[in-house]
């Protein structure tokens, strides 16, 4: 695992994992929206160039600690449906997907 703190003070996580692109995208969406009663899907986009896929998802949830909304952005990119960078979200993926 490699968590990186960017110059803006915002944490990010990047990891390459192997698995079915659509299966992981669906699993992430369901895990995020089902684990937090205040989590909501805000927006997203999907792009494809040949065999390469790109999916961007934006979620928000209410933070009781800060009494405000916090956002989570996920970017998945894959080619051939088998290997892709995994960005910004990691809870439990190691149990389901083979991390490289």
Per DSSP, helices labelled H in the chain are 21-35, 93-96
Q: What is the pTM of this model?
A: 0.70
Distance in angstroms (rounded) separating the CA atoms of residues 56 and 58: 7
Residue ranges in the chain modelled with pLDDT below 70 = 1-10, 80-100
What was the pLDDT predicted at 26? 92
Note the residue count of the chain. Answer: 100
pLDDT of the residue at 21:
87
Q: Is 42 helix (H, G, I), strand (E, B) or coil?
A: strand
| pLDDT tens-digit readout, 40-67 | 999 999 999 998 899 999 999 887 777 7
Assigned token pair, 60: 């928000």
Range of the domain at 20: 3-99
pLDDT of residue 66: 74
> In total, how many domains does the chain have?
1
pLDDT of residue 43: 95
Distance CA 48, CA 46 (A): 7
């Amino acid at each position: 695992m490699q968590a990186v703190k960017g110059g803006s003070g915002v944490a990010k996580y990047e990891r390459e994992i192997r698995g079915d692109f659509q299966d992981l995208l669906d699993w992430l969406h369901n895990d995020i929206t089902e684990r937090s009663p205040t989590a909501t899907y805000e927006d997203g986009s999907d792009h494809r160039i040949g065999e390469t896929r790109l999916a961007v998802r934006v979620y928000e949830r209410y933070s009781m600690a800060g009494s405000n909304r916090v956002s989570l952005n996920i970017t998945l990119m894959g080619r051939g449906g088998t290997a892709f960078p995994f960005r910004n979200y990691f809870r439990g993926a190691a149990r389901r997907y083979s991390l490289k």
